[in-house]
Amino acid sequence: MRIRMTADGRVLEGTAKQIAESMHALAFGQERRTLSEYIDWAVDQAGRMNDVDLEVDGATDDEKAASFVRAMLASGLAEKL
């Protein structure tokens, strides 16, 4: 899967988990968070900074990352290429 982040035009590629991991690696000051914690933080940030309510769930990192990427695409924060 390839997506483009609408905020900065950055293109990310891979599985949903790989995309979320790439976002995590790029997020300044978030290196101590687990992937799941990072996704929760990113969802909160999207709500506060973009007034977007991302509904994300999942019991595993893979499920949560897939839900996160789907929510970003559905909200317009990212677009599928």
- Residue-wise pLDDT tens digits, 10-25: 999 999 999 999 999 9
- Structure tokens belonging to residue 6: 């609408």
Mean pLDDT of the chain: 96
The band of 47, judged by pLDDT with boundaries at 50, 70 and 90, is very high
Q: Average of pLDDT values for 1-15?
A: 96
Distance between terminal CA atoms of the chain? Answer: 8
The band of 56, judged by pLDDT with boundaries at 50, 70 and 90, is very high
Give the pLDDT score at 36: 97
Query: Which residue in this structure is represented by tokens 């390839």?
Result: 2
pTM for this predicted structure = 0.94
